[in-house]
Amino acid sequence: GTGARTWVYDFSEGSKDQRDLLGGKGANLAEMTNLGLPVPPGFTITTDACRYYLEHGSTPPELADQVTEHLRTLEQAMGKTLGDADDPLLVSVRSGAAASMPGMMETVLNVGLNDDSVQGLARQSGSERFAWDSYRRLIQMFGKTVLGIDGELFEHALDEVKAEQGTELDLDLDAGHLADVVRRFKAIVAEQCGRDFPMDPREQMDMAINAVFDSWNSDRAVIYRRRERIPSDAGTAVNVCAMVFGNLGEDSGTGVAFTRDPGSGAQGVYGDYLQNAQGEDVVAGIRNTVPLADLEAIDRSAYEELMQTMSRLESHYRDLCDIEFTIERNKLWMLQTRVGKRTAGAAFVIATQLVDEGLIDMDEAVRRVTGDQLAQLMFPRFVSGGDAQQLTQGMNASPGAAVGKAVFSSEEAVAWEKRGEAVVLVRRETNPDDLSGMIAAQGVLTSRGGKTSHAAVVARGMGKTCVCGAEELQVDTKNRQFTAPDGTVVREGDVISIDGSTGKVWLGEVPVEPSSVVRYFEGELDPDAEDADDLVRSVHRILAHADEVRRLGVRTNADTPEDSARARRFGAEGIGLCRTEHMFLGDRRQLVEKLILAEGDDERQAALDALEPLQKQDFLEIFEAMDGLPVTVRLLDPPLHEFLPDLTELSVRVAVAEAKGHADEGTLRLLTAVRRLHESNPMLGLRGVRLGLVVPGLFAMQVRAIAEAASECREAGGDPRPEIMIPLVGAVQELEAIREESEQVLADVCESHGVDVRALIGTMIEVPRAALTADEIAPSAEFFSFGTNDLTQMTWGFSRDDVEAAFFHAYLDKGIFGVSPFESLDREGVGRLVEIAVEGGRRARPELKLGVCGEHGGDPDSVHFFHAVGLDYVSCSPFRVPVARLEAARAAL
Ligand code: ADP
Ligand code: MG
Ligand code: MG
């Protein structure tokens, strides 16, 4: 039965590994106690007891006896009795959940004081002032947190007494004044609660314990947990701890400290100290603290013991710790410790410092940092300060700092960028047509849409700075301007600065500095140089080790020689996705138009012949940039109408021309073609392999361009490794038809050049049917590459371009998913299809090469999944390559 259940543990009975049961504070108090550090004795009531209390509305029946037993042990250890009239033991009653929830719940100090024991405390301590100060603190904290009285009432009463004494400082009040404060506080309690402040010490303690349990469900705690995704039913533990006093005079005090700088990781003395004060004074900012280093001059021996204790804690926890301590009459007491939070940069620096100190090994260093932290370190930063005018603040959708001239359409962005201008693309919202403009821009600013809007998702994928949902801005794309809430009008060409880490938007140029980590990846900073900074050196060491331990290969998604070269510098081991559609844009649009409008085989072939040398040149440069490494080229994927004018726009143009009586033949022909190719659901229409099967010669032209480029490359002494990837295959028959045609072309080109260029032929797995029939497809495919963007769309039946703006916000709010399935792979659904395809494919063809080329390839959580299901590589945008290298290693450890 429950009679045997243990609800209370002495500090000497627990350990740091019992966070769930004892809460973080309790587990670490136990750990410090067992290390022999000077922790005041005490005991912890478990989170189990809290859960029982929250469920039943009362404490477990055995709790009172167990608390009595532990209290007796505590009293024996201290040689005092709780609230004794002559020599009282006082305790603190402190909250402490498993997950850190700073400042969210309650703590009551000085429990055990009453009208009698305050006299005993005064005699024992030799300080009346101290005793009355402690008593008024108890009534104030107890009144506020346990009895629920408005804290301002106490503050006003205290201020009144100070005003009567003509001072603003607590320290100017003597024992008599503080006794007066106590009288007024008790009157407040009586008036507000209709009962007296409890004089029975045990009643005080029990009421405080229940109040801590109740504080789990305070409004602010509930909101905090929702935001931080902490389970709402975990409950808090309660720590009852003998009081030590920092408010006993100038030889006493209280402080907080870090074992190293949580901002930079630098070693040194970091913290704040306040003389003659109790713990909450430091946080409340009532008086100014002094830097911890000053403690050395104030109390040398306590300072030295503190330094030794901190270094002891660091080597024990093998990590940066933060601590709370109190000095009572020159004696140091440790009141709290935990592994401390730190910035992304500090995380890397500290991890390698700990390796050098022999506390952890390199594997552990890799575990201690995350891909998200690395990504943060790669964004450029605004140099703080400056006098630019802030226009508004939107959502921080994709971090980084971007400065450029405002432009209001994708076309303008591309045109300005070609002229060498840095631009920021400003839109109400973006859509897939804006892709080229987003690529051309330094950053993207939208007035609508949240963090899963098209702009936000695409920008994050590209590592492009984005502020979205800046609702205060009135964006008028037609007149090429936007208006800020203060009436400032920003026109095309005006310089603005946007900060994707904070969402702030400024008029004019705020200076930026490139991240040192990116300069290192670019080869501009030598990590072994004498003056290399600690961060660069740490990132270098950790990634070098990550590359040794990871099993997953990391490739990149790149379609230009520049991106390919950069990704290679960032550590990419090939290209996993080279999209060919970007090669059909710009000036070449006209050639594509000719291809689409072609009547008869001859016209079509002429159009293809005109495109082929251009394609070949593209591939040649990419093969050179990726010499010796695989380059997976995806044959044309998007629907052809994406290369034609918009149907409505063109119809209007034709109608106007006809009304004026001069519609020309070409435009009419174009309109017919646009009508013919118009689709209601283009994502599910004529695209991918379907295009290759319907437009004669299209894929053959692309394969020939690849083969010609590879042959030339080889003839020039290079080592091209092309892989031809067929998109959107759903049935093996589709793949077989294209494969046959492609092999013929490859053979022809090899023969005419007299070289043997091998090209693997494989398929994307992005239609659910392909995943389900992978065992049939594998015999015709030398590799699979999971196109998880389309696979997610088609598995969920979500049109990505529509749903993100339309209702993802609501889905995230309602908790239908915690994160967009386009951001982080949906393991249960889409992931299940990946597993089925891996299993079926490998069964049919054991040497089948498996990779992934969706956005998910650079998402930390998804990378862990791809490792677990046994893929050979992930492929992601160049800026995510280092992130994927790191996360692939973390998945392998
Ligand atoms: P929080 O989790 O909000 O930091 P704590 O339980 O740590 O709350 O307590 C609040 C303050 O009271 C801290 O500064 C702490 O150091 C101090 N404090 C808690 N218990 C004691 C004690 N037994 N003796 C002296 N000071 C204490
Ligand atoms: Mg604390
Ligand atoms: Mg696709």
- Assess whether 656 and 700 both reside in one domain: no
856 C-alpha vs ligand 1 centroid, how far in Å? 44
Q: What is the CATH number of the domain that holds 851?
A: 3.20.20.60
- Assess whether 733 and 831 both reside in one domain: yes
pLDDT at 643 over 60: yes
Instruction: Report the pLDDT averaged over residues 129-146.
Output: 96
Mutate to test the pocket of ligand 1, among 25, 324, 325, 329 (most ligand atoms within 8 A of CB): 324
Is residue 280 in contact with ligand 1, taking CB distance under 6 Å? yes
pLDDT bucket at 590, cuts 50 / 70 / 90 = confident
Name the residue with the closest Cα to ligand 1, atom 20. Answer: 92
How far, CA to CA in Å, does 104 sit from each of 111, 204, 223, 610?
Answer: 20, 21, 10, 68
- Assess whether 505 and 578 both reside in one domain: no
Instruction: Report the pLDDT averaged over residues 361-380.
Output: 94
Selecting among 241, 853, 856, 867, the annotated active-site residue is: 853
279 C-alpha vs ligand 1 centroid, how far in Å? 6
Query: Which pLDDT value is given to residue 342?
Result: 85
Instruction: Report the pLDDT averaged over residues 431-449.
Output: 88
Instruction: Report the pLDDT averaged over residues 471-491.
Output: 96
Average pLDDT, the chain: 92
Mutate to test the pocket of ligand 1, among 33, 104, 335 (most ligand atoms within 8 A of CB): 335
Q: Which residues contact 873 (CB under 8 A, 6 or more apart)?
A: 552, 553, 554, 555, 573, 574, 576, 850, 851, 852
259 C-alpha vs ligand 2 centroid, how far in Å? 16
Is residue 109 in contact with ligand 1, taking CB distance under 6 Å? yes
To the query of whether residue 853 is one of the catalytic residues in this protein, the response is: yes
Tell me which residue of 572, 546, 550, 553 sits closest to 352, measured CA to CA: 546
Structure tokens at 793: 């769309």
Instruction: Report the pLDDT averaged over residues 128-157.
Output: 95
pLDDT bucket at 106, cuts 50 / 70 / 90 = confident
How far apart (Å, rounded) are the C-alpha atoms in residues 308 and 296?
13
Query: Which pLDDT value is given to residue 138?
Result: 97
Residue 826 lies in a domain: yes
Query: Which pLDDT value is given to residue 1?
Result: 42
pLDDT bucket at 461, cuts 50 / 70 / 90 = low
Alpha helix (H) residue ranges in 626-763:
647-659, 665-677, 689-694, 698-715, 732-753
Residue 858 lies in a domain: yes
pLDDT at 564 over 70: yes
Q: Residues annotated as binding site?
A: 579, 634, 766, 787-790
Q: Domain ends where: 242, 275, 299?
A: 242
Strand order in the sheet with 331-339: 290-291, 267-275, 253-260, 321-328, 331-339
336 C-alpha vs ligand 2 centroid, how far in Å? 6
How far apart (Å, rounded) are the C-alpha atoms in residues 541 and 365?
10
Query: Which pLDDT value is given to residue 385?
Result: 62
Q: What is the CATH number of the domain that holds 507?
A: 3.50.30.10
Q: Residues annotated as binding site for substrate?
A: 579, 634, 766, 787-790
- Is-contact 597 670, C-beta < 8 A? yes
Residue 247 lies in a domain: no
Query: Which pLDDT value is given to residue 284?
Result: 60
Is residue 112 in contact with ligand 1, taking CB distance under 6 Å? no
Residue 369 lies in a domain: no
Query: Which pLDDT value is given to residue 593?
Result: 87
Question: What tens digit of pLDDT does each residue of 730-758 get?
Answer: 999 999 999 999 999 999 999 999 988 88
- Assess whether 66 and 119 both reside in one domain: yes
Question: What tens digit of pLDDT does each residue of 820-874 get?
Answer: 899 899 999 999 999 999 999 999 999 999 999 988 999 999 999 999 999 999 9
Structure tokens at 230: 């902490």
Specify the ligand 1 atom closest to the Cα of 282: 14
Cα three-residue angle 552-533-258, rounded to 5 degrees: 90
Is residue 92 in contact with ligand 1, taking CB distance under 6 Å? yes
- Assess whether 56 and 174 both reside in one domain: yes
Ordered DSSP codes for 73-85: HHHHHHT-EET-S
95 C-alpha vs ligand 2 centroid, how far in Å? 9
Selecting among 50, 177, 241, 454, the annotated active-site residue is: 454
Instruction: Report the pLDDT averaged over residues 714-737.
Output: 97
- Assess whether 724 and 659 both reside in one domain: no
- Assess whether 189 and 294 both reside in one domain: no
To the query of whether residue 468 is one of the catalytic residues in this protein, the response is: no
CA count, 13 A, side-chain hemisphere, 647: 11
Is residue 40 in contact with ligand 1, taking CB distance under 6 Å? yes
Specify the ligand 1 atom closest to the Cα of 91: 23
Instruction: Report the pLDDT averaged over residues 193-214.
Output: 96
Query: Which pLDDT value is given to residue 464?
Result: 85
Question: What tens digit of pLDDT does each residue of 34-47 get?
Answer: 999 999 999 999 99
Name the residue with the closest Cα to ligand 1, atom 16. Answer: 279
Is residue 324 in contact with ligand 1, taking CB distance under 6 Å? yes
Specify the ligand 1 atom closest to the Cα of 94: 6
Is residue 424 in contact with ligand 1, taking CB distance under 6 Å? no
| pTM (predicted TM-score) | 0.83
Mutate to test the pocket of ligand 1, among 32, 45, 94 (most ligand atoms within 8 A of CB): 94
Query: Which pLDDT value is given to residue 169?
Result: 85
pLDDT bucket at 196, cuts 50 / 70 / 90 = very high
Query: Which pLDDT value is given to residue 61?
Result: 94
463 C-alpha vs ligand 3 centroid, how far in Å? 20
324 C-alpha vs ligand 2 centroid, how far in Å? 6
ipTM of the shown complex: 0.96
Query: Which pLDDT value is given to residue 586?
Result: 78
Is residue 28 in contact with ligand 1, taking CB distance under 6 Å? no
Q: Which ligand number lies closest to the CA of residue 764?
A: 3
Query: Which pLDDT value is given to residue 665?
Result: 85
How far apart (Å, rounded) are the C-alpha atoms in residues 172 and 460?
56
Residue 535 lies in a domain: no
Name the residue with the closest Cα to ligand 1, atom 27. Answer: 279
Angle, helices 128-141/117-125, rounded to nearest 10 degrees? 140
pLDDT at 503 over 50: yes
pLDDT at 482 over 90: yes
Is residue 557 in contact with ligand 1, taking CB distance under 6 Å? no
- Assess whether 712 and 847 both reside in one domain: yes
How far, CA to CA in Å, does 479 sit from each of 419, 483, 543?
Answer: 22, 11, 48
Per mean pLDDT, which of 230-239, 524-533, 735-744 is the most reliable?
A: 735-744
Is residue 253 in contact with ligand 1, taking CB distance under 6 Å? no
304 C-alpha vs ligand 1 centroid, how far in Å? 22
Structurally, the chain folds into a number of domains equal to 5
Residue 271 lies in a domain: yes
How far apart (Å, rounded) are the C-alpha atoms in residues 861 and 874?
12
Query: Which pLDDT value is given to residue 266?
Result: 86
Residue 789 lies in a domain: yes
How far apart (Å, rounded) are the C-alpha atoms in residues 574 and 875?
9
- Assess whether 624 and 745 both reside in one domain: yes
Say what percent of the chain tops pLDDT 70. Answer: 98
Residue 113: domain span? 2-242
Say what percent of the chain tops pLDDT 90. Answer: 75
Query: Which pLDDT value is given to residue 179?
Result: 97
Ordered DSSP codes for 134-155: HHHHHHHHIIIIIS---HHHHH
pLDDT at 361 over 80: yes
467 C-alpha vs ligand 2 centroid, how far in Å? 36
- Assess whether 483 and 598 both reside in one domain: no
Specify the ligand 1 atom closest to the Cα of 239: 6
Specify the ligand 1 atom closest to the Cα of 96: 2
Instruction: Report the pLDDT averaged over residues 596-616.
Output: 92
Tell me which residue of 197, 874, 218, 893 sits closest to 572, measured CA to CA: 874
Q: Which strand (E) or helix (H) includes residue 625?
A: helix 600-625
Q: Domain ends where: 182, 211, 242?
A: 242
**3-state SS class at 873:** strand
- Residue 458: what residue type? V
Q: What is the CATH number of the domain that holds 331?
A: 3.30.470.20
Burial class (CB in 10 A: 0-12, 13-18, 19+), 529: exposed
Is residue 326 in contact with ligand 1, taking CB distance under 6 Å? yes
pLDDT bucket at 796, cuts 50 / 70 / 90 = very high
Beta strands in 261-370, from DSSP E residues, in sequence order = 267-275, 290-291, 321-328, 331-339
- Assess whether 306 and 405 both reside in one domain: no
Query: Which pLDDT value is given to residue 800?
Result: 81
Is residue 244 in contact with ligand 1, taking CB distance under 6 Å? yes
538, β-bridge pairs: none
Specify the ligand 1 atom closest to the Cα of 336: 7
Residue 352 lies in a domain: no
Is residue 272 in contact with ligand 1, taking CB distance under 6 Å? no
Q: Residues annotated as binding site for Mg(2+)?
A: 766, 790
pLDDT at 234 over 70: yes
Q: Which ligand number lies closest to the CA of residue 283?
A: 1
Q: Domain ends where: 678, 701, 729?
A: 678
- Assess whether 782 and 862 both reside in one domain: yes
Specify the ligand 1 atom closest to the Cα of 105: 3
